[in-house]
Amino acid sequence: MRLSIYSAFLVLKPGIALGVAVAGLAGAALAGHGFPEPARAALAVLCIVMAASGSAGLNVVLESGTDAFMSRLSRRSVALAALGGRRAAALSSALIMASLAISYVYINTVAALLILAASVSYAVLYTLCLKRRTPFGTVLGGIPGALPVLIGYASVDPALGLDGLILFLVMLMWQPPHFLALALKYGEDYRAAGLPAMPATLGEEYTKAFMFVYATAITPLVVSLWLFGYCSAGFAAAAAALGFVYLAVSWYDVFRSGRYGRAFGLSIVYIMLLLASVVLDTALS
């Protein structure tokens, strides 16, 4: 029993679910111009976590063939084997269906449709199509990871506003440099699995330049929340400072020291602090 629970825990990727839950909370805070009503926020976060975990589980099942060639995913492959592919698929599908039902009945139709779009785009658009066919899969493949912002926003205001769309674009810009840091670190894994990761197909220097084009675009987008009057000048200053530190340390890690794993970890800290700043700023405004 303990083994099954632990295996399910690894297959459902709880770290990803936690990250997108924070993104959803930031979207809800923007929509409500302050911290959302606790019960509604909890319900939205629950639906996002369930759908994200279910989608992650389906991703693991669908990628089991290629994951077997990737040393960094050995624990996940063992967990899937212990849990069983059919059981993992059933559990993942049940989580997504439950999320859709709860959001449709207790939140609104827009939120439910966005959850459906995120789940389908992750399992079909990214996993089965983009990741296997193009080195630019992380670009459009970032859509399901950015949609939780709009899901959280729609849970408060179904009429999606410009502020929600800006934060959605921030998440979309953040994901390529985040995931490409892993591709740089584990390039041999991607080659062994036959996946066209950017470092393997277009070279490391191209990948690094590509990462920084996207990373540099994040801060102007975030600051535009202040320019359009959605967040305070204090938030803009904090976001600019965070962006400067993120770019400077990432540049050193990626171009100078080759510490790709640290660059990957830094990007997680950066986006969590940025999203938390959105929530805090709107709560204090």
Question: What share of the chain has pLDDT > 90, as a percent?
Answer: 67
Residue 21 confidence (pLDDT) above 70: yes
What is the 3-state composition of the chain as percent helix, strand, coil, each rounded to the nearest 5? 85, 0, 15
Q: What is the pLDDT of residue 49?
A: 94
What is the mean pLDDT of the segment spanning 22-44?
Answer: 91
Question: Tokens at residue 107, please?
Answer: 């939140």
Q: What is the average pLDDT across 242-262?
A: 94
More confident residue, 84 or 227: 227
Please report the pLDDT score of residue 138 as a whole number: 87
- Which pLDDT score is estimated for 4? 66
* DSSP codes, 118-129: HHHIIIIIIIII
Can you tell me which residue has the tokens 């084997």?
Answer: 81
Task: Please report, for residues 32, 67, 114, the alpha-carbon distance to residue 278 in angstroms, rounded to integers and kept in the order given.
Answer: 12, 36, 21
Query: Does residue 285 surpass a pLDDT of 80?
Result: no
Specify the pTM.
0.94
- Confidence label for 238 from pLDDT (cuts 50, 70 and 90): very high
Rg over CA atoms, the chain? 19
Q: Which of 11-15, 131-135, 180-184, 194-198 has the lowest mean pLDDT?
A: 11-15
> Residues 63-73: what's their mean pLDDT?
83
Question: Which pLDDT band, with edges at 50, 70 and 90, does 107 fall under?
Answer: very high
CB of 257 within 8 A of CB of 3? no
Give residue 260's pLDDT band: very low, low, confident or very high (50, 70, 90).
Answer: very high
Buried b / exposed e across 46-79, counting CB within 10 Å, b at 16+? bbbbbbbbbbbbbbbbbbbebbebbeebeebbeb
Name the residue among 166, 32, 155 with its Cα closest to residue 104. Answer: 155
End-to-end CA distance of the chain: 48
Residue 87: C-alpha distances to residues 13, 45, 120, 219, 280 (Å): 16, 25, 19, 42, 40
pLDDT digit string, tens, across residues 144-200 = 999 999 999 999 999 999 999 999 999 999 999 999 999 999 988 888 888 899 998
Report whether pLDDT(271) > 80. Answer: yes
Q: Could you tell me which CATH class the domain 2-284 is placed in?
A: mainly alpha
Q: Is the pLDDT of residue 101 over 80?
A: yes
**pLDDT at residue 123 tops 70:** yes
Q: Taking all residues of the chain, what is their mean pLDDT, rounded to a whole number?
A: 91
**pLDDT surpasses 90 at 211:** yes
Average pLDDT estimate for 72-87: 85
- Which residue is it, tokens 């084009």? 213
